[in-house]
Amino acid sequence: MKIYLVGGAVRDEILKHPYTEKDYVVVGSTPEEMVEKKFKPVGKSFPVFLHPDTHEEYALARTEKKNGVGYKDFIFFTSPSISLEEDLARRDLTINAIAKDDQNKYIDPFNGISDINNKILRHVSNAFKEDPLRILRLARFKAKLSDFKIAEETLVLLKTMVNAGELKHLSYDRIIIEIKKVFQLKDGHIFFETLEDIGAIDQIFENNNKKKLSECFQSFFKHRCFFENFNLCWLFFQEKFNFRFCKDYLVNFSKKDLNLINTFKELNKDLLNFKTLSSRGQLNVLNRVGFFNKDDKFEKISDLMKLDLLIDQNDSNVSLLAYQDKLQNFFKDKPISIPSDLSGEDIAENINKQRLNFLESFQFE
């Protein structure tokens, strides 16, 4: 039984990049032996175990065979006779097919270290084409390692896969998982640029914008802006840049997010020119964006305002965003008193009158 550190941790160690997750391959063992050594089995389709102390993942060396279409239909084989090289051979890129033993020696049967030194993204074997998800993964690696180049033979293979319609076998959910990872990268627009270069972008998105999607996203990624509510952020981008997922993909956005985006679109001009509105117009905007509410509606609208100004590189000094902190502090000191003889709509009308009076005395400067 031999244990090797593999995958991203080895790659990032050689690149001198920080990493947190470690994955291990176990050669020459069986599930029974792993359980006997107190490892906890967690894999469903193939034997993966958690270390009893560190809880890091240890997978038995395995090979795989395509058994259908798409990225899910694989049959995995494990056996004590499967070698480390056989396990590494099933990986996508040479830079991810390097192992390190317990003596800190690298095992590199596919010259991944050389490709790292020469800044090249190269597929390990033609088995790469069996998994269309690898097209997106490679595009993400290109964005993550922006100074790397894709090997010519890998570019040819990518275009062959795209032309064969392999991307149609990917689900929306799987694509969006990759895009979420891309949104955390400094040069994430390169992901879209790479998909454009290999002809994949039109198989995923219907772009009604004159600009390429990579160009649309450039300013966003330049500032490395990321919001917790990814679905809302992504929905905003679709509206902002006028693109959609192709009809092959079933997209489900919540009604709440759709309504919020519609509110933002309807009020966009007033949000940008908030200071120039009448006091009554300002109050109408504040009410519609949930400024006085206790939920997170205004927080989300505020994030969308930041995103919109960031993309347009607009440092507006008359927008609601420019005054929201001052307004929030202002209204904290303006308690609302409701006469006891009022009820229903009369209460709401009275509150609005008080807020309007307060707003008329607000000093923007």
Parallel/antiparallel/unpaired status of strands 57-60 and 23-27: parallel
The token pair that represents 197 in the structure block: 């270069």
Segments of 219-352 assigned E as strands: 243-245
Residues 221 and 303 in one domain: no
Whether residues 13 and 121 fall in one domain: yes
Q: What percent of the chain has pLDDT over 90?
A: 65
Contact 43, 49 (CB under 8 A): yes
pTM: 0.82
Residues 197-207 pLDDT 10s: 999 999 999 88
Same domain, 111 and 193: no
Domain end call among 200, 234, 253: 253
Q: Is residue 115 part of a domain?
A: yes
Contact yes or no for 157/115 (Cβ under 8 A): no
Domain check: are 271 and 345 in the same one?
Answer: yes
Same domain, 162 and 211: yes
33 in helix, strand or coil?
A: helix
- pLDDT tens profile 146-175: 999 999 999 999 999 999 999 988 888 899
Using CA atoms, how far residue 247 sits from 108, 173, 204, 250, 251, in Å, is: 43, 14, 9, 7, 9
Q: Which of 78, 67, 97, 89 is nearest to 26 (CA)?
A: 78
pLDDT in tens, 67-105: 555 555 667 788 999 999 999 999 999 999 999 999 999
Q: Band of the pLDDT at 315, cuts 50, 70, 90?
A: confident
CA-based Rg of the chain, rounded to a whole angstrom? 27
The residue with greater pLDDT, 365 or 144, is 144
pLDDT of residue 10: 98
Q: Which of 38-47, 68-77, 249-258, 356-365 has the highest mean pLDDT?
A: 356-365
Number of structural domains (the chain) is 3
Question: Could you tell me if residue 365 is inside a domain?
Answer: no
For 246-270, what is the mean pLDDT? 86
Integer Cα distance of 150 and 120 in angstroms: 6
Give dist(CA 281, CA 267) in Å, integer.
Answer: 11
Of the candidates 221, 253, 285, which is a domain's last residue? 253
344 band by pLDDT with thresholds 50, 70 and 90: confident
Longest Cα pair distance anywhere in the chain, in angstroms?
85
CA 321, 192, 120: angle at the middle one, nearest 5? 125
Q: Give me the mean pLDDT over the 299-312 stretch.
A: 89
Pair (150, 78) in one structural domain = no
The span from the CA of 149 to the CA of 118, in Å, is 9
Domain holding 288, by residue range, is: 255-360
Residues 244, 259, single domain; the answer is no
Residue 110 and residue 2 share a domain: yes
CATH number at residue 194: 1.10.110.30
Distance, first Cα to last Cα, the chain: 73
Statement to judge: residues 156 and 112 lie in one domain: no
For position 67, what pLDDT does the model report? Answer: 58
My answer on whether 249 and 259 are in the same domain is no
